[in-house]
Amino acid sequence: MHKKNGIREIAEIAGVSTATVSRVLNGKGNVDPELSKRVMRVAEEVGYQPSPAARYMRSKKSGLLGIVVPKLSLSYFSDIVNGAIDKASEYNQLMIVATVEGNRRTEKDFLSKFSHYMIDGLIYCPVTTGEYVEEMKDLSHIPLVIAGRRKILEGIPSISTDDEKAGYISTKYLIQLGRSAIGFFAGFWEEAPFKDEKDLLKAIDSPMSGSFSTLDRLRGYRTALDENKIVMDEKRLVFSSFDADSGYESARELFGRLGELDALIVPNCYVAKGVYKFCTEQGIEIPFGLSLISMDDLRTGELLSIPTTSIIHNMYQVGVESVLRINQIIEKRKVDDTLIDVRLHIRQSTTKKA
């Protein structure tokens, strides 16, 4: 059946006018309940689906949502997408997915393209650098939410996990194990927007801090240290990215400073894998000589050579809540920021200090 002839064929089979079919399918006008049931039954039998163009002309809604994520191959972001797709299906909406592979320029290109698409809303998971994205001004006509970050754009609601709590409970647990010389990897997609670790520390309490999950986690790290009268040492901080190679290189840099180190907090389990390789080469025994916690499990924590104690983020729920908030905005309802809880999953990469 051709979609353009759908209403006409339904009318012929049901023995009613095309106007009646149109009223039933659009939920408009008074139609006899039995007649309405007959029309809907015939529509289902012939597999009728409304034309997206006709739907847009009628309601000014396309039934399409967009989502921009840094890297779809990471479960952190693929879980957001899966949650968003599942929730969108409840609203009879389809999702257009764009992955920018951690590249700021590609992200800007996609944002510019989405500003010209016929979409009902956009979920934006930024590759954060703290700078204003000029292309965002072209999206002012589209319902928008920020997923996975907070305080990116003033007046735009965000849905994120509690990264400050993640940094706090990780550090606190290590301290309970008798660890006090705790290193911290500050992860960034591209080159860190700070000239050094001292500059990084100054940003913890700045207005831009919510733009980076690393700064929220670092704030929680600092709070746990302060509560236990442990001095925060910038020499125990090092920049990294989010892959195994950067884990290896950052570990080499941090240990090369020759300071005391008995524990480590890293951005994710890919980075942990690189750290494990370095430690194996240097004869550093995990978890006894060095206990390690990953800030993101990425479903690989238990699969590494040393099953890794990790923070569990419910990113699927971030996707679900993002679509829910988009539709609340479409319905002209007030939408606030949403913060989703995290938990610590303890495995073999941590133990009490001898």
Query: pLDDT (tens digit, 9 = 90+) per residue, 245-263?
Result: 999 999 999 999 988 999 9
Cα-trace Rg, the chain: 25
Q: Tell me whether residue 195 is exposed, middle or buried, using C-beta atoms within 10 angstroms of its C-beta: 0 to 12, 13 to 18, 19 or more.
A: exposed
d(C-alpha 306, C-alpha 274), whole Å:
12
163-312 matches 64-161+315-342 in CATH topology: yes
Question: Which comes out higher in pLDDT, residue 49 or 96?
Answer: 96
> What does the block give as tokens for 257?
């400073």
φ, ψ dihedrals at 108, nearest 5°: -65, -40
The pLDDT of residue 1 = 39
φ, ψ dihedrals at 187, nearest 5°: -90, 135
Residues of the chain by 3-state class (helix, strand, coil), percent to 5: 45, 15, 40
Position 55 confidence tier, pLDDT thresholds 50, 70, 90: low
As a dihedral over the C-alpha atoms of residue 318, residue 153, residue 128, residue 201, rounded to 10 degrees, the angle is: -110
pLDDT in tens, 80-91: 999 999 999 998
> What does the block give as tokens for 110?
């996609």
Q: How many CB atoms lie within 10 A of CB 44?
A: 10
Question: Which comes out higher in pLDDT, residue 237 or 140?
Answer: 237
CA 222 and chain centroid, separation: 24
d(C-alpha 172, C-alpha 221), whole Å:
8
pTM comes to 0.79
Mean pLDDT of the chain: 88
Query: With respect to CATH, is domain 3-50 assigned 1.10.260.40?
Result: yes
The pLDDT of residue 151 = 73
Element (H, E) at 7: helix 6-14
Question: Which comes out higher in pLDDT, residue 208 or 264?
Answer: 264
Cα dist from 309 to 283, 295, 343, whole Å: 21, 9, 11
List the domain boundaries for the chain: 3-50, 64-161+315-342, 163-312
> Among the CATH numbers 3.30.910.10, 3.30.365.10, 1.10.940.10, 3.40.50.2300, which is that of 163-312?
3.40.50.2300
Contacts of 135 (CB under 8 A, 6+ apart): 108, 111, 112, 115
Cβ atoms of residues 5 and 48 within 8 Å:
no
Fold of domain 64-161+315-342: Rossmann fold (3.40.50)
d(C-alpha 271, C-alpha 278), whole Å:
11
pLDDT more than 90, % of the chain: 56
